[in-house]
Amino acid sequence: MDLEKIAQAVRLLLEGVGEDAGREGLADTPRLVAEASGRILAGYGRDPRRVIDVIQGPNELVLVRDVPFFSVCEHHLLPFFGTADVAILPDGGRIAGFGSLADLVDAFARRLQIQERLTAEIADALAAALRPRGVYVSLRARHLCMQMIEGRHIGSETVTLAARGALAEEPGAAAVRALLAGGSR
């Protein structure tokens, strides 16, 4: 990641809105935004498929709920954030460590994204790494672009789903939806 280019872009943005990029209070902003961008968009430095810790276990449904994530909308460069639910119906005893499921969500989220693609990328990576009977991924997020730019959608939440294999079909999908709906939110 080229932090100096990011800092230059921030200086231009500040000047573009009529600010003095060198004034007290803003002088360090280009560097600070560049450094923050390096952390916020750290997914570019990781291969998300390599964070999946494939281990042996039973062929029973695994559901990890409410995995927090933060991402940046590629259209407006504003944050969106929420939680992910990930369900896997294993095959051949190939399961993923719980922590690696959260790491996978984080690795894809820490890139410029749209929520729909983020959801699909998580599902596709799990399907490729584990070759399960089914995968189901649900993301719930709040988009600051909807809330700050439009100003009319304060508090709205967007839900996206991606299902693969047996969890894309009934009754598997219905069972996962029931499990997700059964807990407190």
- Concatenated DSSP letters of the chain: --HHHHHHHHHHHHHHTT--TTSTTTTTHHHHHHHHHHHHTGGGGS-GGGG--EEE--SS-EEEEEEEEEEEETTT--EEEEEEEEEEE-STTEEE-HHHHHHHHHHHHSSEE-HHHHHHHHHHHHHHHH--SEEEEEEEEEEHIIIIIISS-TT--EEEEEEEEGGGSTTHHHHHHHHHHHS--
Over the stretch 106-146, which tens digit does the pLDDT of each residue have?
999 999 999 999 999 999 999 999 999 999 999 999 999 88
64 and 34 together in one domain: no
Is residue 162 included in any domain, yes or no?
Answer: yes
Q: What is the pLDDT of residue 112?
A: 97
Is residue 108 included in any domain, yes or no?
Answer: yes
Is residue 47 included in any domain, yes or no?
Answer: no
Is residue 48 included in any domain, yes or no?
Answer: no
Residue 184: band (very low, low, confident or very high) from pLDDT cuts 50, 70, 90: very low
- What predicted TM-score, i.e. pTM, was given to this entire model? 0.91
27 and 62 together in one domain: no
Is residue 107 included in any domain, yes or no?
Answer: yes
pLDDT of 183 > 70? The answer is: no
Instruction: Report the number of distinct structural domains present in the chain.
Output: 2
Over the stretch 67-117, which tens digit does the pLDDT of each residue have?
999 999 999 999 999 999 999 999 999 999 999 999 999 999 999 999 999
99 and 124 together in one domain: yes
Q: Which structural domain range is residue 140 located in?
A: 53-182
